[in-house]
Amino acid sequence: GSGGWGGVEGKEALPAGAGGRLACTMTLVTTHGGTVVNLLHLDDDKVRESLTQLCIRGDVEKVQAALEEDPEKALGMLCGKLDADGSTGLHLAAMSGHLRLTQELVARGCQVNATDSRSRTPLHVACSEGFAEVALELIMGGCDANLTDENQQTALHRAVLLSGPEVVSVLIEHGGADLTIADGTKSTPLILAAGHGRIEAMALLLGKDPSLARAANECGWTPLHLAAHGREMKKSSVKNTKFLPAVQMLLEAKAPLEATDEDKRTALHRAADTGNVETVGALLAAGADFNAADITRWTPMHFACQAGHVTVVKQLLDAKAPVQREEPVCLTPLALATMENQVKVAELLLKHGASPDLRAKGLASAATIARKDPEKHNDILALFELGFVSHAA
């Protein structure tokens, strides 16, 4: 191999993990004797491509060789835009977690707050990739942890979403990260952490400032709404238990139970809708209002009945939530259960005194809904007319 900055003579494939930046192989320029051609006499694009490869690989020695040979030209290129993403040498070093190369480039005076085409600093990149030591090196070199990218996210936003607690801790303890900065969706780092069940990151954030639990995003969702919803904002049948500790942590931080989102729904509405039994229990034990009505006048009971969450319905009834309003202002919980053919929910509601004939003005009763499609609602009609139904297959 050559001792020069350009690598070995001929073509050399990029290693795994290079991010697909250079999918093909590249000719690295040296003479046949291994002596580097003077940088000033090389095509700028060739120099830039070679430096890009070396930074992706973390080849400190060859980068140093280039800097020694022609400091002005090499440093100018390393501090400039090396690729189509606008990455500098520090961005590329941070992307692959190359600590020694990061140290070398910082020591040589590369701009630690330089931004790429997405307005990301090298610190954004290091935190997105989970490299705590590189992040610390950049901070020690003067990188501002509170600069924001094109999504108005700081390095801390990226860290809580994509990295472990070590990176989050570096930003909080050494980077002076502002925990209250909200991104383009008005989400603070805690809001993002709660929405993805990032328990360790939440503990670090709330340990510094419990009042962070009171913030809300552009849709009015607080961290408690997101943790109570518990499904990372995706429709999924996969049970995810990591959100219960998040809810408990937020309750300990005095997160507001009464807070409502853009639909005037509380965290209890969200938990009842998605059927998170343990979370519903924790919220009820903390004093959540089971009578809270949203923009459509639905209570948590309505959502649980519509979705067929029998255990949640039982939890609400055990907590003394009313089975129905005496003068309903919307469809009754039993009407919703009937509409969705939730037989076991309907049976439970009837045992607690729900009336099939009760209805709001201008709206159908449960009995009317069932009779409109007797084939679909055969079992529920049997409940209404006979008082029982067989659940046998």
For residues 168 and 200, give the distance between their C-alpha atoms in angstroms, rounded to a whole number.
9
Residue 15 has pLDDT above 60, yes or no: no
- For 283, phi then psi, to 5°, come to -70, -40
Angle ∠(248,254,257) on CA atoms, nearest 5: 80
Residue 30 three-state SS? coil
Residue 300 has pLDDT above 60, yes or no: yes
Please name which of 138, 98, 104 lies closest in space to residue 120, comparing C-alpha atoms: 138
For residues 185 and 207, give the distance between their C-alpha atoms in angstroms, rounded to a whole number.
24
Please name which of 170, 159, 151 lies closest in space to residue 125, comparing C-alpha atoms: 159
Report the pLDDT value the prediction gives residue 16, as an integer from 0 to 100.
42
What is the full DSSP assignment across 270-291?
A: HHHHHT-HHHHHHHHHTT--TT
For residues 37 and 59, give the distance between their C-alpha atoms in angstroms, rounded to a whole number.
19
pLDDT, average across residues 140-151:
98
Average pLDDT, the chain: 88
pLDDT band at 14 (very low <50, low <70, confident <90, very high): very low
pLDDT > 90 in the chain, percent: 81
Report the pLDDT value the prediction gives residue 84, as an integer from 0 to 100.
93
Residue located via tokens 């255990």: 311
Give the chain's end-to-end CA distance (angstroms, integer): 74
The structural domains of the chain, ordered by start, are 42-130 (1.25.40.20), 323-392 (1.25.40)
Report the pLDDT value the prediction gives residue 305, as an integer from 0 to 100.
98
Report the pLDDT value the prediction gives residue 38, as an integer from 0 to 100.
54
pLDDT in tens, 107-137: 999 999 999 999 999 999 999 999 999 999 9
For residues 360 and 367, give the distance between their C-alpha atoms in angstroms, rounded to a whole number.
13
pLDDT, average across residues 354-377:
95
Residue 298 has pLDDT above 50, yes or no: yes
Residue 98 three-state SS? coil
> Quick check: 283 and 257 in contact, CB under 8 A?
yes
Report the pLDDT value the prediction gives residue 44, as an integer from 0 to 100.
87
pLDDT, average across residues 261-277:
96
Residue 235 has pLDDT above 80, yes or no: no
CA 375 vs. chain centroid, Å, equals 44
Name the more confident of 205 and 22: 205
Residue 232 has pLDDT above 70, yes or no: no
Report the pLDDT value the prediction gives residue 230, as an integer from 0 to 100.
86
Contacts of 95 (CB under 8 A, 6+ apart): 19, 56, 87, 125, 126, 129
Residue 23 has pLDDT above 80, yes or no: no
Contacts of 389 (CB under 8 A, 6+ apart): 343, 347, 379, 380, 382, 383
Report the pLDDT value the prediction gives residue 390, as an integer from 0 to 100.
59
Output the 3-class SS for 343-373: HHHHHHHHHCCCCCCCCCCCCCCHHHHHHHC
pLDDT, average across residues 24-32:
37
Which is it for strands 26-28 and 10-12: parallel, antiparallel or unpaired? Answer: antiparallel
pLDDT band at 13 (very low <50, low <70, confident <90, very high): very low
Report the pLDDT value the prediction gives residue 224, as an integer from 0 to 100.
97
> Quick check: 242 and 278 in contact, CB under 8 A?
no
| Global confidence as pTM | 0.85
